[in-house]
């Protein structure tokens, strides 16, 4: 038995998960009481109007004495529901546990042992593949390409939400009080030694919410954690300069030779060259202004988030 206090956070995200709840809690209870000196179960009910009291009532008293039920007043983003549980975690280690693994309660011990053996502060479950409809696959590829290319984040696209977090890593994570949360990115910002355990259970779209919810989450991640939009505006500005030069050359060529750059014959009207050049200049100037504004907005956005400038992992004196 390990002389450690383990907190387990479970989010009840769908009504059908309530049917699995008693069996899931009983399986976890048997594993926790046999392997840890102390433990707590934090159940976050993220479905307003759904009562689980009748499901919990028949459970053993010892289990119920270590169970905390948090019922949210309205349905919220799953990342926010997880945060509600993490805020109330008191353990030396905290396990975020998904209903998909209710049949494998021994994963709690395996994640804990991997964390201790490898001195890792975060250990997560990693799928071997992702099951998603073919029409959505390009969106996933584009999303993770943008994260890798336009940020310093190291986000594993096959990571499950199920993971164990040490107390010090959790304390650092809770300092990032962002209203728009993408938990996988926040784990990366926090840092600390991280490892994973591979599992046969694939990532499925049903466990990540509807496509519209995932799309909103991807927009949050791209705008909050990458420089993609600012880089995009830079490329638009550079394109506008090239376009400006091309338009000027073409307008002057038509004016003096009567033939454009594509070899087509044309007769310019009075004032046509000046109008075309003027529009191209204004287009390039507008793009430049948008790029400059994006830099200022990006700097303001980063300042008001008040992310910690650094996180100390440990302090030693010799």
Q: Are residues 270 and 218 in the same domain?
A: no
Whose structure tokens read 């990532």?
A: 203
pLDDT at 263 over 70: no
pTM of the model: 0.72
Q: If you average pLDDT over residues 254-259, what whole number do you get?
A: 70
Distance CA 263, CA 245 (A): 18
CATH number of the domain that residue 98 is part of: 3.90.550.10
Residue 312: its pLDDT value, please?
46
Last-in-domain residue among 225, 253, 282 = 225
Q: What is the pLDDT of residues 138-156, one digit of tens each?
A: 887 888 788 788 777 788 7
Residue 125: its pLDDT value, please?
86
Whose structure tokens read 């200049």?
A: 281
pLDDT at 70 over 70: yes
Q: Are residues 282 and 181 in the same domain?
A: no
Q: What is the pLDDT of residues 73-124, one digit of tens each?
A: 777 778 888 888 888 888 889 999 888 888 888 888 888 888 888 888 899 8
Distance CA 197, CA 147 (A): 23
Q: Are residues 148 and 246 in the same domain?
A: no
Q: If you average pLDDT over residues 214-219, what whole number do you get?
A: 71
Q: Are residues 214 and 238 in the same domain?
A: no
Q: Rg of the chain's alpha carbons, rounded to an integer?
A: 27
Q: What is the pLDDT of residues 183-205, one digit of tens each?
A: 787 888 888 888 888 887 776 65
Q: Are residues 28 and 160 in the same domain?
A: yes
Last-in-domain residue among 203, 225, 247 = 225
Q: Are residues 219 and 234 in the same domain?
A: no
Query: Which range of residues forms the domain containing residue 86?
Result: 2-225
């Amino acid at each position: 038995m390990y002389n450690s206090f383990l907190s387990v956070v479970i989010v009840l995200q769908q009504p059908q998960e309530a049917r699995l709840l008693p069996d899931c809690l009983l399986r976890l209870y048997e594993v926790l009481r046999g392997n840890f000196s102390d433990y707590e179960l934090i159940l976050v009910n993220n479905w307003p109007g759904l009562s689980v009291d009748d499901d919990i009532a028949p459970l053993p008293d010892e289990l119920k004495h270590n169970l905390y039920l948090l019922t949210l007043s309205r349905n919220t983003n799953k990342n926010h529901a997880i945060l509600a549980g993490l805020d109330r975690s008191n353990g030396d280690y905290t396990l975020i546990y998904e209903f998909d693994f209710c049949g494998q309660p021994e994963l709690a011990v395996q994640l804990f042992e991997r964390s201790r053996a490898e001195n890792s502060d975060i250990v997560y479950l990693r799928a071997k593949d992702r099951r998603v409809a073919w029409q959505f696959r390009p969106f996933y590829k584009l999303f993770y390409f943008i994260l890798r290319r336009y940020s310093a984040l190291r986000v594993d696209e096959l990571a499950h939400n199920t993971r164990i977090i040490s107390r010090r890593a959790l304390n650092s994570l809770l300092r990032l009080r962002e209203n728009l949360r993408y938990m996988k990115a926040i784990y990366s910002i926090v840092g600390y030694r991280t490892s994973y355990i591979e599992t046969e259970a694939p990532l499925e779209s049903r466990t990540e919410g509807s496509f519209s919810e995932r799309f909103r989450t991807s927009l949050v991640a791209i705008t909050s954690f990458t420089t993609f939009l600012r880089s995009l505006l830079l490329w638009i500005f550079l394109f506008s300069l090239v376009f400006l030069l091309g338009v000027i050359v073409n307008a002057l060529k038509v004016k003096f030779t009567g033939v454009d750059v594509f070899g087509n014959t044309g007769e310019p009207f009075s004032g046509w060259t000046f109008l075309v050049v003027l529009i191209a200049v204004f287009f390039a100037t507008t793009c430049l202004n948008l790029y400059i504004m994006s830099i200022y907005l990006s700097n303001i956005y980063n300042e008001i988030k008040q992310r910690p400038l650094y996180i100390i992992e440990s302090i030693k004196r010799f």
